[in-house]
Amino acid sequence: PPPVGASPGALNPFDRRLKRKQKNWAALQAEPAKCDYLREEVGGRIADRVFDITRTFPLALDVGSGRGYIAQHLTKETVEKLIQVDIAENALKNAIESEIPTVRVVADEEFLPFKEDTFDLVVSSLRYGSHSHALCVCVLQIHQVLKPDGVFIGAMFGGDTLYELRCSLQLAELEREGGFSPHVSPFTAVADLGHLLSRAGFNTLTVDTDEIQVNYPGLFEVMEDLQGKYILCMGESNCSWNRKPLLHRETMLAAAAIYQEMYGNSNGSVPATFQIYYMIGWKYHESQAKPAQRGSATVSFGDLAKIEGLLKRGKK
């Protein structure tokens, strides 16, 4: 915890001990398959990006593996050996079996217990910190344990995740209580992501976004599903030091009405949007292709507009 008299947000905006308790609690919930379809979907999309790289990875690391949502989609022809790391021991105990030889390690994702230049591939799905401070720490750790010419493929929640819920709660709290506090952990903006990866030492970066939208009967069903499924099962429940312990009943009813009025579908349901950032970064190696020097081009982009006309003349 932050020292007495200090500003906790300036030092560390998140309670790591609470984060570990949340993840361990989530891993013990009944019928985990009902909680994990979002993580399994994103894990499959990360695996597809691994398959796009035409090479075999002798040793791979899954950071914040949970129950193994990426590993279940990979094959031993692509990854020969896998290390799964998670802060919650209960998640690793209930891990999904994979055909890949796997070793499971309980460790904090922000303090990876591995030597430098160890892994050929590092993957991570919706697990490491979605805020700037934790993300900086995580990508630095990942870059350190990657071998030269190793690749990192990850996914994280984007800045527009759950914007319908956040906006409805904020408007309701402002109206009923004269102010609002965060109820969902903050998310990183896509404009900052490439900069953070570049500063960590990654090059040949690729960042793209996707959205997954889930419909619910109303706000209370959204909150229940988030608490019992997405948020706690993915370890993304709000654990800020300045979190508010509860919401008043009147505020919740007002938020439900705002949610329905502003975002409701024609059939009476309400949407919850999950924005996903996918990122690929490589650790530098001298064998990698390098960009051409500035001014070395032999053709102007302005000439490209003339190509269509030249082709038509050629046909004539």
pLDDT in tens, 38-74: 888 999 999 999 999 999 999 999 998 888 999 999 9
And the tokens for 131?
Answer: 């805020």
pTM: 0.77
Please give the pLDDT value at position 24: 64
Question: How are strands ordered across the β-sheet holding 102-106?
Answer: 102-106, 82-86, 60-63, 119-125, 146-157, 270-283, 202-216
What are the CA-CA distances from residue 239 to residues 186, 223, 306 (Å)? 10, 16, 58
Cα radius of gyration (the chain): 23
Please give the pLDDT value at position 94: 81
pLDDT per position as a tens digit, 75-120? 999 999 999 998 888 878 888 888 999 999 998 888 899 999 999 9
Report the range out of 82-91, 225-234, 300-309 with the highest average pLDDT: 82-91
Please give the pLDDT value at position 259: 95
Residue 83's SS3 state is strand
Architecture of domain 16-167+186-216+273-286: 3-Layer(aba) Sandwich (3.40)
Please give the pLDDT value at position 128: 53
Distance of alpha carbon 114 from alpha carbon 207, whole angstroms: 26
Q: In which band, very low, low, confident or very high, does the pLDDT at 308 lie, cut at 50, 70 and 90?
A: confident
Q: In which band, very low, low, confident or very high, does the pLDDT at 34 lie, cut at 50, 70 and 90?
A: low
